[in-house]
Structure 1
Amino acid sequence: MIRCISPIDGSVYAERPTLSTDDATAAVARAQAAQAAWAARPLAERIALVQEGVAAVGQMNDAIVPELAHQMGRPIRYGGEFGGFHERASYMAQIAEDALADIVVEDSADFRRVIKRVPHGVVLVVAPWNYPYMTAINTVAPALIAGNSVMLKHASQTPLVGERMAQAFHDAGVPEDVFINVFLDHQTTSDLIAARSFGFVNFTGSVAGGQAIAAAAAGSFTGVGLELGGKDPGYVCDDADLDAAADTLIDGAMFNSGQCCCGIERIYVAERHFDAFVQKAVGIVQNYKLGNPLYPETTLGPMAHKRFADEVRAQIAEATAQGAKAHIATFAEDDGGAYLSPQILTHVTHDMRVMRDESFGPVVGIMPVKDDAEAVRLMNDSNFGLTASVWTQDVTRAEAIADQIDTGTVFMNRADYLDPGLCWTGCKDTGRGGGLSVIGYHNLTRPKSYHLKKA
Structure 2
Amino acid sequence: MTITSINPATNQPIKEYTLATDAEAKEVLEKAENTFQKWKKTEFQERSERMKKAAEVLRSNKIKYAAIMTQEMGKTLSSAEAEVEKCAWVCEYYADNAEQFLQDEMIESDASKSFVSFQPMGVILAVMPWNFPFWQVFRFAAPALMAGNVAVLKHASNVPHSAELIQEVFEEAGFPKHLFTNLWISGKQVEKLIENPIIKAVTLTGSEKAGAAVASKAAQNIKKAVLELGGSDAYLILENADLDLAAEKCAESRLLNSGQSCIGAKRFIVIDKVYDEFLQKFRSKMAEAVLGDPTKKETTLAPMARTDLRDELHEQVQESVKKGAKILIGGEIPDLPGAYYPATILTDVKQGMPAYEEELFGPVASVIRASNEQEAIEIANDSKFGLGSGVFTSDLSRGERIAKNELEAGSSFVNQYVKSDPRLPFGGIKISGFGRELSHYGIREFVNVKTVYIA
Q: TM-score range by the shorter chain?
A: over 0.9
Residue of 418, 421, 438 corresponding to 1:419: 421
Matched residue type, 2:426: W
Q: Give CA deviations for 1:180-230 in whole Å, capped at 9, x if unaligned.
A: 111111121111102333112110001111011012212322110000111
Deviation for aligned residue 1:396:
2.0
Kept in 2: contact 1:306–1:338 (CA 8 A): yes
Structure 2 residue 200 is matched with structure 1 residue 227: no
CA distance in 2, matches of 1:166, 1:107: 45
Match of 2:454 in 1: 452
- What is the TM-score normalised by the length of structure 1? 0.95
Deviation of 1:87 (Å): 2.5
Q: Secondary structure at the match of 1:15?
A: strand
Report if the CA contact (8 A) 2:314-2:331 is conserved. no
Q: Tell me how far 1:121 sits from its aligned partner.
A: 0.4
Q: Is the 8 A contact 2:389 2:418 kept in 1?
A: no
305-314 or 284-293: bigger deviation: 284-293
1:285 match = 286
Residues in 2 aligned to 1:62 and 1:287: alpha-carbon distance in whole angstroms: 27
Answer yes or no: is 1:216 the counterpart of 2:197.
no
Q: Aligned partners of 1:298, 1:443: CA distance in 2, in Å?
A: 39
For residues 331 and 296 of structure 1, the distance between their equivalents in structure 2, rounded to whole angstroms, comes to: 24
2:273, 2:337 → 1: CA distance? 37
**Contact 1:77–1:298 under 8 Å retained in 2:** no
* Alpha-carbon shift at residue 399 of structure 1 (Å): 2.4
Aligned to 2:339: 338
Which residue of 2 is the match for residue 304 of structure 1? 305
- Correspondence for 2:177: 176
1:87 aligns to 2:89 (yes or no) = yes
1:312 counterpart SS class: helix
Query: What is the match of residue 33 of structure 1?
Result: 34
Do the aligned partners of 1:434 and 1:440 also contact (CA within 8 Å) in 2? Answer: yes
Return the alpha-carbon distance in structure 2 between the equivalents of residues 336 and 237 of structure 1.
Answer: 41
**Structure 2 residue corresponding to 1:407, chosen from 403, 406, 409:** 409
What is the distance in 2 between the residues matched to 1:53 and 1:445?
A: 22
SS at match of 1:150: strand
Distance 2:251 2:288 in 1: 12
- Tell me the alpha carbon deviations over residues 292-330 of structure 1, each in whole angstroms, 9 at most, x when there is no partner: 112221111111001111111111111222222211146
Letter in 1 for 2:376: A
Q: Which residue of 2 aligns with 1:248?
A: 249
Across the aligned residues of Structure 1 and Structure 2, the Cα RMSD in angstroms comes to 1.8
The corresponding residue for 2:267 is 266
Q: Using the alignment, how far apart are the partners of 1:338 and 1:257 within structure 2?
A: 11
Q: For the residues of structure 2 that align with 1:211 and 1:205, how far apart are their CA atoms?
A: 10
Residue 280 of structure 2 aligns to a residue whose secondary structure is: helix
2:62 paired residue number: 61
SS at match of 2:5: strand
1:309, 1:337 within 8 Å by CA — same for their partners in 2?
A: no
Residue aligning to 2:167: 166
Do the aligned partners of 1:265 and 1:355 also contact (CA within 8 Å) in 2?
no
Q: Deviation digits for residues 401-450 of structure 1, max 9, x if unmatched?
A: 12121110000011131122221110111011111111112102111222
Question: Per-residue deviation at 1:14?
Answer: 2.5
1:395 counterpart residue number: 396
Q: What is the percent sequence identity of the aligned residues?
A: 32
Alignment of structure 1 residues 5-154 onto 2, 5 Å:
5-80=6-81, 81-105=83-107, 111-154=112-155
User: 1:235·1:389 contact (CA, 8 Å) conserved in 2?
Assistant: yes
Tell me the equivalent position of 1:203: 204
Q: Is the 8 A contact 2:54 2:91 kept in 1?
A: no
1-side partners of 2:358 and 2:41: how far apart? 46
Kept after mapping to 2: 8 A contact 1:54/1:89: yes
Q: Which amino acid aligns with 1:291?
A: G
For residue 337 of structure 1, report the CA deviation from its aligned partner.
5.7
CA contact (8 A) 1:290 1:298 kept: yes
Q: Distance in 2 between matches of 1:388 and 1:334?
A: 34
Say whether the 8 Å CA contact 2:62–2:85 is kept in structure 1. no
Q: Could you tell me which amino acid in structure 1 is paired with residue 277 of structure 2?
A: A
Given that 2:106 and 2:116 are in contact with CA atoms closer than 8 Å, whether structure 1 keeps it comes out as yes
**CA deviation string 1:221-270 (max 9, x = no partner):** 21100001110111111111111111011111112110011001110111
Given residue 79 of structure 2, which amino acid in structure 1 is its aligned partner? Answer: Y
Contact 2:347/2:366 (CA < 8 Å) preserved in 1?
yes
1:441 is matched by which residue type in structure 2? I
Hey, what's the Cα distance between the residues in 1 that align with 2:379 and 2:331?
Answer: 29
Partner of 2:433: 431
- Shift of the alpha carbon at 1:159? 1.0
DSSP 3-state at the match of 1:434: coil
Q: TM-score, normalised by structure 2?
A: 0.95
Cα deviations by residue, 1:269-303 (Å, 9 ceiling, x for unpaired):
11121111111111112221111112221111111
Q: Distance in 2 between matches of 1:98 and 1:22?
A: 40
What letter corresponds to residue 27 of structure 1 in structure 2? V
Structure 1 residues 264, 191: closer, same or farther in 2, change over 3 A?
same
Cα distance in 1, alignment partners of residues 29 and 233 from structure 2: 37
- Show the 5 A alignment for 1:354-365: 354-365=355-366
Q: Mind listing any 5+ residue stretches in structure 2 that lack a counterpart?
A: none
Letter in 1 for 2:238: C
Q: Is the 1:334–1:340 Cα contact (8 Å) retained in structure 2?
A: no
SS in 1 for 2:220: coil
Contact between 1:231 and 1:358, CA under 8 Å: does it hold in 2?
Answer: yes
Q: Which residue of 2 aligns with 1:443?
A: 445
Partner SS for 2:86: helix
Give 1:375 deviation, angstroms. 0.8
Q: Is the 8 A contact 1:343 1:363 kept in 2?
A: yes
Q: Secondary structure at the match of 1:424?
A: coil
SS in 2 for 1:183: coil
In 1, Cα distance between equivalents of 2:303 and 2:50: 36
Does structure 1 retain, via aligned residues, the 8 Å contact 2:58–2:88?
Answer: no
